[in-house]
Amino acid sequence: MKKTQFTKLLSVLLCIVLIAAMALLAGCNDNTTTSNPVSSGITETPKTEKSFTFVVVDTTGKETSFEISTDKSIVGDALLDEGLIAGEDGQYGLYVKTVNGITLDFDTDGKYWAFYVNDQYATAGVDTTEIVDGETYSFKAE
């Protein structure tokens, strides 16, 4: 009878040792690091950089081209951020009066800045047009 109890106890101890060894081995394959921002409570928003070409055609027909890289999602926000456009907020959105340092005002000189996407007259304003990587956006004096 003593031998049976000893065998049962030995079996239980052996099972406990095997379970502990398996848990240790499983823990060794864990690829997490202590500097993981999620586990430390810090959340980072990944920035997706977009690139596009911006072309300015002034009143003499001279073209000036810029390569823009930004984490903004709207063309107008990126161009305002770069200091390439300025204007006034109106009932239809941003009324761009200055592009690349050249100011045009339809009320005073009969000319204005027209916004184009890939050489097509834009169907939306610069302040609502989403950036598409690789597209060309233009302002032309008209």
pLDDT in tens, 60-86: 999 999 999 999 999 999 999 999 999
Q: Can you give the pTM of this predicted structure?
A: 0.66
Percent of the chain with pLDDT over 90: 62
Residue 84 CB neighbours (<10 A): 19
The C-alpha torsion from 95 through 97 and 98 to 103, rounded to 10°, is 180
Report the run of H or E that residue 135 belongs to, with start and end: none
